[in-house]
Amino acid sequence: MAMKFRQRPAAEERLKKLARGIEALTRKDEERIRQAREIAELRKQSARELHSLCAGFVAALNSMLSGVTVELSPVEFTETFLRDPGVNVYQINASGRLVQVAFEATDSPTSTDKIRVPYFFEGAVRCFNQELLERVAIHEMPLYCCLEKGKAAWVLFDAPAQRTLPFNQERLISMMELLL
């Protein structure tokens, strides 16, 4: 003989509220997972674009040089080398004069801890040579990959002016000029 449990109206309302709460949490979890996947894809795409910027700069410079070659490391971008988590480094070497681009993913999908615009990669662009290393005078600017309106953009943060600057070929030229 099966027993039926009769629930009091208050308990039944609480169960309904609990069920709605669980369903709402499930929707929130699904949204977080969707956002995490989107950010992971944006990270891959942005790392690829940053490497492409560096590769384009190196190719343009090499096309104007004779007898010397500027090198990019790694030579090619592959997603398998993207460290997430971990530090990623692209390095441009012109006869011992280095521009180093280092970046890593934020702990959360995006952050606004260091600049006001949400970003998902943070790092620095450094330029140095042996002389600067001996004087402990490495030029460095903070680097962020920001997210605005669903699009990613690499920017440098100019601390004295409290503003961001697009990280592009012009900035790479300026940094390499510091080493001459």
What pLDDT digit, counting tens, does each position of 55-99 carry? 999 999 999 999 899 999 999 998 888 888 889 999 999 999 999
Q: What predicted TM-score, i.e. pTM, was given to this entire model?
A: 0.82
Closest of 153, 152, 156 to residue 172, by C-alpha: 156
> In whole angstroms, how far apart are CA 167 and each of 98, 124, 139?
17, 11, 15
Task: Please identify which residue in the block is written with the tokens 């290393």.
Answer: 133
Residue spans of the domains in the chain: they are 33-177
| pLDDT at 32 (0 to 100) | 85
Q: Helix, strand, or coil here: 16? A: helix
Q: Helix, strand, or coil here: 136? A: coil
> In whole angstroms, how far apart are CA 51 and each of 55, 82, 84, 159?
6, 11, 16, 24
- % of the chain beyond a pLDDT of 90: 53
